[in-house]
């Protein structure tokens, strides 16, 4: 018998595979990062989180302001590399890709160095955002979902602050993102 977390993962993967735009974005990233020789990458944050909240609220999937692509490459942490990858992706599809190397982001966040994309997501301001997905090169169309925290909060209509970040940052994001207005069933859990 599958455990509850595995069932939630499978539900998210099913929803992702039913969304042509998301599958196109995943396919483009899979090809691009394979060409670059980078294995540790994910499309994260609202790409997955908002899809789940849209489905739970019975909404048609909202358009995304951006598609957060994260990767881990300690050998070249330049912003220029991020911009190069972003442009490469945008030349292939008119999608709002935003690319960030997590091997550099610890500096901005005043943390110890991160060791992977999954490790970096452990520091994101709200737990429900710390989720990402990638398409597997060895088995195209097979998706690998990674979450720094349990998926229960995502499916229980909650937004939970990460204790590794300040409450002020969490509050600012709640206000600026408009999640409580957009998704009226959501509640903040402290």
Q: Cα-flanking dihedrals φ and ψ of residue 141, to 5°?
A: 85, -15
Structure tokens belonging to residue 182: 């957009």
pLDDT at position 1, please?
Answer: 47
Q: What angle do CA 134, 138, 140 make, to 5 degrees?
A: 60
pLDDT digits (tens, 9 = 90+) for 44-64: 999 999 999 999 999 998 889
Q: What residue has token string 């294995």?
A: 39
Question: What Å distances lie between residue 174 and 11, 89, 104, 148, CA to CA?
Answer: 26, 29, 25, 20
pLDDT digits (tens, 9 = 90+) for 131-175: 999 999 887 679 999 999 999 999 999 999 999 999 999 999 999
Label the pairing between strands 131-135 and 143-147.
antiparallel
pLDDT digits (tens, 9 = 90+) for 62-110: 889 999 999 999 999 999 999 999 999 999 999 999 999 999 999 999 9
């Amino acid at each position: 018998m599958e455990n509850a977390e595995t069932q939630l993962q499978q539900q998210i993967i099913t929803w992702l595979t039913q969304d042509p735009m998301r599958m196109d974005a995943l396919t483009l990233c899979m090809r691009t990062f394979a060409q670059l020789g980078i294995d540790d990458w994910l499309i994260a944050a609202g790409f997955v989180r908002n899809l789940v909240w849209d489905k739970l609220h019975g909404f048609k999937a909202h358009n995304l302001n951006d598609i957060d692509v994260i990767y881990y490459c300690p050998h070249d942490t330049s912003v220029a590399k991020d911009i190069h990858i972003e442009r490469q992706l945008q030349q292939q599809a008119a999608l709002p890709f935003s690319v960030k190397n997590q091997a550099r982001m610890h500096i901005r966040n005043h943390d110890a160095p991160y060791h992977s994309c999954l490790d970096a997501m452990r520091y994101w301001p709200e737990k429900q955002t710390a989720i990402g997905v990638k398409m597997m090169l060895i088995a195209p169309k097979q998706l690998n979902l990674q979450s720094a925290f349990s998926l229960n909060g995502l499916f229980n209509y909650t937004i939970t602050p990460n204790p590794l970040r300040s409450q002020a940052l969490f509050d600012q994001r709640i206000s600026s993102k408009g999640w409580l207005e957009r998704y009226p069933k959501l509640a903040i859990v402290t």
